[in-house]
Chain A
Amino acid sequence: MSNIATAMPDVRPIPVRELLPWAIFGGLLFLIAIYFIGTEEGATALFSGSYIHEFVHDGRHLLGFPCH
């Protein structure tokens, strides 16, 4: 039983094998989210029209994405 409290925190890295599935799934999800906020219906478009562009218009400008 190891119930000895040490002064120095035991900094243990998370194994890459445990991290990888989360990184792939999460990374993809977040990049898609950023894509829709940042560039959809701007430089590139998956959907036609400009509703998404107009809807997030102010955020896109203020976040510094190239717009118009």
Chain B
Amino acid sequence: MVGNLLLRGMIVGVIAGLLAFGFARVFGEPQVDRAIAFEEQAAAAEQAASGQTAVEEPELVSRTTQAGIGLFTGVVVYGAAIGGLFSLVFAYAYGRIGGLGPRATAALLALAGFIAIVIVPDLKYPANPPAVGNGETIGARTELFFVMLVVSIAAAVASISLAQRLWASRGPWNAAIIASLAFVAVIAIAQYALPTVNEVPENFPADLLWRFRITSIGLHAVLWTVIGLGFGALAEHSMAGYRPVVRARTALH
């Protein structure tokens, strides 16, 4: 059962990754290219100012590879991994949150995942194009990013279990509102307490930064939407086999 769900999750994840790759290729790559052009211009200006001759850095991987098979690999593997993890969380959540069927469970989980894994960490530590970010602070920035991610996931899990506990006594609406407010409060405190990172170089085009960041969110939106809705549809078949009652019904057709 779980193996079956896992396989379906990874398949949906790969499909979601392919679509997200298409999105990233069309809407993301122009921004990456613009950012790299800015980076090169800034480096050239610095060298001209210091009077040194330009030292060509050997190109380990060509831009064509980075924007093609490299981007493809990155996004599709990420999609498959998220799809697989999603199916495992689904396998646990199914039948444990309300009386929701497979499709509603998957859709709701995807929405929760998108908020907790993408939107919340992104609000504090947004995606940065090339040329933005100091190489020396990569360790600290990565730590902060993952701390934010872990806090966000933990707060989401706690919030869902709070909603479940309040469900019977307060009713579904009030339980959901109270649990959501608790989530927002925890996130607000964490985001206020964690240090802000701003390493945007002077004169970096504001428009480019905005477009890059919004494209990054768009890429994740494609991924999570396809996973949530696609996995729900596939899991419905899968879970049907898990219910003897339904198996008997299909046998009647």
Contact = CB atoms under 8 A, between A and B. Distances in A.
Nearest to B67: A58
Given A10-B246, A58-B71, A59-B73, A30 B84 contact: yes
B70 A59 contact: yes
Given A22-B2, A57-B61, A5 B249 contact: yes
A2 B247 CA distance: 10
Contact of A62 (B28, B126, B139): B28
Nearest to B83: A30
B158 to A, nearest CB: 19
Contacts of A59: 24, 70-71, 73-75, 78
B69 to A, nearest CB: 8
Nearest to B100: A11
Prevailing SS type, chain B contact patch: helix
A23 B32 contact: no
Contacts of A56: 70-71, 73-74
Contact of B94 (A13, A37, A67): A13
B2 A14 contact: yes
Nearest to A29: B84
Contact of B95 (A13, A23, A54): A13
Contacts of B126: 64
Interface string B108-138: 0000000000100110011111100111001
Contacts of B78: 33-34, 37-38, 59, 63
Nearest to A49: B60
Interface in B1-21: 1-3, 6
Nearest to B71: A58
Interface centre among A12, A23, A29, A63 (most CB of B within 10 A): A63
A55 to B, nearest CB: 5
Given A33-B81, A56-B73, A58-B74, A66 B141 contact: yes
Contacts of A33: 77-78, 80-81
Nearest to B28: A62
B101 to A, nearest CB: 5
B101 A11 contact: yes
Given A18-B1, A50-B60, A62 B125 contact: no
Instruction: Give 9 closest A-B pairs by Cβ, nearest first.
Output: A59-B74, A13-B95, A64-B127, A43-B142, A56-B74, A54-B61, A30-B81, A3-B248, A5-B249
Interface of A: 2-6, 8-14, 16, 18-19, 22-23, 26-27, 29-31, 33-34, 36-39, 42-44, 50-51, 54-68
9 contacts: A3-B249, A10-B243, A22-B2, A34-B78, A58-B71, A62-B216, A64-B216, A66-B141, A68-B138
Given A29-B81, A50-B60, 5 more contacts: A3-B248, A5-B249, A23-B91, A36-B77, A62-B219
